[in-house]
């Protein structure tokens, strides 16, 4: 007995030491993974301050001149404004339509609902370049039938981006609705609440995390879209990704890194602000 007690006395500190070492290795691994994921973003931010027009390591100095050059370029400024407007409209309309679609698919099952759900989610499976070509050809077909100009118009670009954002809303809101207890809504109806009251006072407040996440992802997907916009933009409606692509045809300097850094900071700020009020980890 004395030998066994003495053995346990020495084993307990050893087990505590092993647990501490394992926790330390785990935390180090997590930090390395975060660094691996964020390293490209940090590298772009660092690159945007290089003084050299031709990229060399180590840099001869640092400057803010590339940010000044980017802000003084009308194509970048107008592209940013157009991308922001299109993304905002696409997110608002796409989220509204996606919420209605998710409510119909989850709360009101009908024959063929699985087919409709797969159809709404199909843009997530189709390569972006294929989707861009398909919408461009569909617009040409509609122009011949309706005798209207659609390709190259601002409205046509917004409608295409709405089609791009709806699947994100349907997916996030549907997944969140499956985790809600329908008895809460039924209890509100038993207490005399109308369907409209249940929707705006019960269902939508419970879906707020999913709606915020869907709005955020829809805005980012639309704002950063290149492949679809490339086929649909018209004169005076160049988006920021297209402006960056056109600039890279003849230039290769840190101006693009400066523009990308501004996008990273703005989108990161939007995500942090959204997570401040609604924890995105609950639905993402």
pLDDT tens for residues 223-240?
888 888 888 887 777 888
Domain ranges of the chain: 72-282
**Confidence (pLDDT) at 284:** 52
**Confidence (pLDDT) at 275:** 67
Q: Which fold has domain 72-282?
A: MetI-like fold (1.10.3720)
**Confidence (pLDDT) at 89:** 92
257: tokens are 């890194």
**Confidence (pLDDT) at 33:** 86
Rounded CA-CA distance 198/34 in Å is: 42
Q: Name the pTM for this structure.
A: 0.79
pLDDT < 50 positions in the chain:
1-2, 6, 283
pLDDT tens for residues 86-124?
999 999 999 999 888 888 888 777 777 778 777 777 777
User: What is the phi/psi pair of residue 50, to 5°?
Assistant: -65, 140
């Amino acid at each position: 007995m004395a030998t066994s007690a003495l053995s346990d006395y020495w084993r307990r500190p050893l087990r505590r030491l092993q647990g501490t070492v394992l926790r330390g290795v785990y935390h180090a691994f997590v930090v390395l993974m975060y660094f691996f994921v964020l390293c490209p973003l940090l590298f772009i931010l660092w690159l945007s301050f290089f003084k050299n027009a031709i990229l060399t390591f180590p840099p001869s100095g640092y400057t803010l001149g590339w940010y000044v050059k980017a802000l003084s370029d009308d194509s970048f400024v107008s592209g940013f404004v157009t991308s922001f407007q299109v993304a905002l409209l696409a997110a608002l309309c796409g989220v509204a339509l996606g919420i209605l679609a998710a409510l119909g698919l989850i709360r009101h099952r009908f024959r063929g609902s699985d087919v409709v759900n797969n159809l709404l989610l199909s843009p997530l499976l189709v390569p972006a370049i294929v989707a861009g070509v398909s919408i461009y050809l569909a617009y040409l077909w509609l122009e011949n039938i309706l005798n209207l100009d659609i390709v190259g118009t601002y409205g046509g670009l917004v409608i295409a981006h709405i089609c791009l954002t709806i699947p994100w809303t349907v997916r996030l809101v549907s997944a969140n609705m499956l985790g809600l207890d329908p008895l809460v809504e039924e209890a509100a109806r038993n207490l005399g609440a109308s369907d409209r009251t249940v929707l705006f006072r019960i269902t939508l407040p419970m879906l707020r995390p999913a709606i915020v996440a869907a709005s955020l992802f829809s805005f980012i997907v639309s704002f950063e879209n290149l492949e679809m916009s490339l086929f649909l933009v018209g004169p005076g409606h160049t988006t920021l990704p297209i402006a960056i692509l056109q600039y890279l045809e003849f230039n290769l300097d840190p101006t693009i890194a400066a523009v990308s850094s501004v996008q990273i900071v703005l989108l990161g700020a939007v995500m942090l602000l959204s997570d401040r009020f609604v924890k995105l980890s609950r639905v993402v």
